[in-house]
């Protein structure tokens, strides 16, 4: 049994506890521990990604209890990729944070590690109720992070976020209890087998449970009509927090992909593929609302938050198409949008600091201290998120558009994606030209941007180039990943045939 699989859960947990115990120690030590830990976690995530790339599905039985009775962690290509994406994002966010951006409280680092623990756990677990528990772990950490720094704006958006997610948790429990009542299991692989044998009598209840889960995951993913919490929350959070939060919507996407390919996928009998007809129109509407919000936003960070909604709509469309090619394109786009949105939030913070009292409002303000440097970075980030060649957004969108087989959906997908790209160009050129060009004849009296923080943003944006120029192995990986997703039998077989280590008794 490969013990490395549980490391993405244990390492952040131990780090967070260590950081909590060290409260009151010099900030330098806290930052050091946090950064060393995230570097190690990045190493572990890379090792897991490489081992999953070979195509084997590794199973880790917690407490040596066999599935379907015990809780298992499952490492397949999808969960390995998600853990890796999280580690990279957290690495850069913490890098940015330790350059003096983690004030006022020094508790930021420990809570970020608790969040990473919850996120990694949610990606790795093979048990529906355990997924709920990890959701709660990451949510309680995210509540704290969102309120980090205090202030009326954060409290207000934080209250909405917390209340909505508490209702979401209740719905999750109802859905999980329904599924347990119907199938008698909580292990996802076992549940997939039981769901496939659903009789026509049970179908309505099964439908209700499956679609309730879609509501819960849709809330996490910020899909229309459940996205209203997102823009204000992201815009009011501090920069490293907003960057880390770029993974939050992807947890919803991950859960949707996992549940509706594995449990309610092609082989689920009477309830096969029941979410996709709902996802398709909702994805396009999400896309539309996202670009409308980006166009109407009066603040830079609010605009970026709406771009997160746009990326959610794009990925949902890919999931709704539900072919191997589309899922592969979706996962490629997921990596790109997570990292680039994170970079944009960090960059926005650097820009906002140089604008004095104008802050992030998109109006004429004092000229920036470093207009060329920050302007060039903003241009590159904008080009990446819009989907201009040669950056990764372009590759992601092309892959997604190619994956649409010729039917009436192709027209809508191409139309919405291209229109969204055009509107995003308009929105970002408005904010970019106002912030960098239409300035007053004075420069705000501020310090230059911190070099380390600037380097973090540059490296993050460079990931976009890596994704597009080194795209071949990435796409080969996501192709293999999609193939694995479309053959859920491999997953169920791996989980259910996993044997406990002999000689270890539970007395």
Partner 1 sequence: MEVLVAVVIAVLTSCGVYLLLRGRTFPIILGLTLLTYAVNLFIFMSGRLNPGKSTIIGVGEGYTDPLPQALVLTAIVISFAMTAFVMVLALRARAELGNDHVDGRIKVEDVKS
Q: Please give the residue ranges that form the binding site for partner 1 (CB under 8 A).
A: 129, 133, 136, 140, 143, 147, 150-152, 155-156, 158-160, 162-163, 166-167, 169-170, 173-174, 176-178, 180-181, 186
Q: C-beta of 337: minimal distance to partner 1 in Å?
A: 30
Q: Choose between 180 and 278: whose C-beta lies nearer to partner 1.
A: 180
CB of 159 to partner 1, least distance (A): 5
Closer CB to partner 1, 136 or 202, in the complex = 136
Residue 273 sits at the vertex; the CA angle it makes with 278 and 188, to the nearest 5 degrees, is 115
Three-state DSSP at 390 gives: coil
When the beta carbons of 160 and 409 are compared against partner 1, the nearer one is 160
CB 170 to partner 1: min, Å? 5
Residue among 163 and 363 whose Cβ is closer to partner 1: 163
Q: What is the DSSP string of 233-287?
A: HHHHS-HHHHHHHHHHHHHHHHHHHHIIIIISSTT-GGGTT-SHHHHHHHHHHHH
Only one residue has tokens 């919490």, namely 229
Who contacts 473 (Cβ-Cβ below 8 Å, separation ≥6)? none
Residue 60: enclosing H or E segment and its boundaries?
Answer: strand 58-61
Which structure tokens are listed for 84? 């890796």
Nearer to partner 1, 152 or 504 (CB): 152
Q: Looking at beta carbons only, is 121 or 396 nearer to partner 1?
A: 121
Of 176 and 456, the one with the shorter C-beta distance to partner 1 is 176
Q: Would you give the distance in Å from CA 423 to the centre of its chain?
A: 24
Helix (H) or strand (E) holding 355: none
Q: Nearest distance from residue 426's CB to partner 1, in Å? A: 30
Least distance to partner 1 from the beta carbon of 461, Å?
A: 35
For the bound state, the minimum distance from the C-beta of residue 177 to partner 1, rounded and expressed in Å, comes to: 4
Give the relative orientation of helices 108-124 and 128-146 as an angle to the nearest 10 degrees: 160
Q: From the CB of 230, what's the least distance to partner 1, in Å?
A: 16
How many residues are recorded in the chain?
507
Question: Alpha carbon of 258 to those of 135, 141, 222: distances in Å?
Answer: 15, 23, 17
Q: What is the C-alpha to C-alpha distance for residues 171 and 458, in angstroms, rounded to an integer?
A: 41
Q: To the nearest 10°, the Cα dihedral for 252, 338, 231, 420?
A: -100
- Lookup result for tokens 């997604």: 400
Instruction: Find the shortest distance in angstroms from Cβ 155 to partner 1.
Output: 5
Q: Which two tokens stand for residue 138?
A: 């990451």
CB of 184 to partner 1, least distance (A): 8
Which CB, 73 or 348, lies closer to partner 1? 73
Nearest to partner 1 of 170, 429 (CB atom) = 170
Residue 9: partners with Cβ closer than 8 Å, 6 or more residues away: 73, 117, 120, 121, 124
């Amino acid at each position: 049994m490969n013990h490395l699989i549980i490391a993405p859960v244990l390492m952040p947990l131990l780090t967070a506890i260590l950081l909590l115990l060290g409260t009151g120690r010099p900030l330098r030590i806290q930052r050091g521990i946090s950064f060393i830990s995230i570097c190690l976690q990045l190493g572990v995530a890379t090792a897991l990604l490489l081992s999953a790339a070979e195509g084997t599905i590794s199973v880790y039985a917690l407490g040596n209890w066999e599935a379907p009775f015990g809780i298992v962690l499952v490492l397949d290509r999808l969960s390995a990729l998600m853990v890796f994406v999280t580690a990279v994002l957290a690495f850069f966010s913490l890098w940015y944070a330790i350059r003096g951006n983690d004030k006022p409280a020094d508790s930021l680092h420990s809570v970020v590690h608790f969040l990473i623990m919850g996120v990694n756990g949610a990606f790795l677990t093979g048990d529906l109720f355990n997924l709920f528990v990890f959701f709660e772990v990451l949510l309680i950490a995210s509540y704290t992070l969102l309120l980090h720094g205090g202030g009326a704006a954060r409290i207000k958006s934080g209250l909405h976020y917390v209340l909505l997610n508490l209702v979401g948790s209740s719905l999750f429990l109802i859905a999980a209890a329904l599924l347990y009542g119907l199938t008698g299991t909580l292990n996802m692989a076992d549940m997939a087998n039981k769901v496939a044998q659903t009789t026509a009598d049970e179908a309505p209840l099964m439908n209700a449970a499956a679609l309730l889960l879609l509501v819960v995951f849709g809330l996490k993913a910020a899909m229309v009509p459940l996205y209203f919490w997102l823009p204000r929350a992201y815009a009011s959070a501090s920069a490293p927090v907003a960057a880390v939060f770029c993974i939050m919507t992807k947890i919803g996407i991950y859960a949707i992909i996992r549940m509706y390919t594995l449990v309610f996928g092609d082989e689920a009998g009477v309830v096969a593929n029941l979410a996709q007809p709902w996802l398709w129109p909702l994805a396009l509407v999400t896309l539309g609302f996202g670009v409308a919000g980006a166009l109407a936003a009066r603040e830079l960070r609010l605009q970026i938050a709406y771009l997160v909604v746009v990326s959610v709509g794009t990925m949902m469309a890919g999931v709704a198409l539900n072919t191997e090619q589309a899922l592969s394109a979706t996962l490629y786009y997921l990596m790109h949008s997570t990292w680039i949105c994170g970079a944009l939030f960090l960059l926005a913070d650097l820009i906002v600091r140089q604008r004095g009292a104008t802050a992030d409002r998109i109006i004429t303000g004092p000229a920036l201290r470093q207009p060329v440097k920050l302007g060039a970075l903003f241009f590159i980030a904008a080009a990446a998120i819009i989907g201009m060649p040669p950056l990764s957004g372009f590759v992601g969108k092309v892959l997604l558009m190619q994956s649409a087989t010729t039917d009436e959906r192709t027209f809508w997908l191409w139309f919405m994606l291209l229109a969204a790209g055009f509107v995003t160009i308009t929105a970002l050129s408005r904010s970019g030209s106002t912030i960098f060009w239409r300035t007053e004849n004075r420069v705000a009296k501020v310090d230059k941007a911190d070099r380390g923080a600037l380097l973090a943003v540059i490296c993050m944006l460079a990931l976009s180039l890596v994704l597009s120029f080194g795209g071949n192995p990435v796409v080969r990986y996501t192709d293999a990943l999609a193939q694995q997703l479309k053959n859920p039998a491999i997953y169920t077989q791996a989980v259910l045939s996993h044997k406990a280590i002999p000689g270890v008794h539970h007395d």
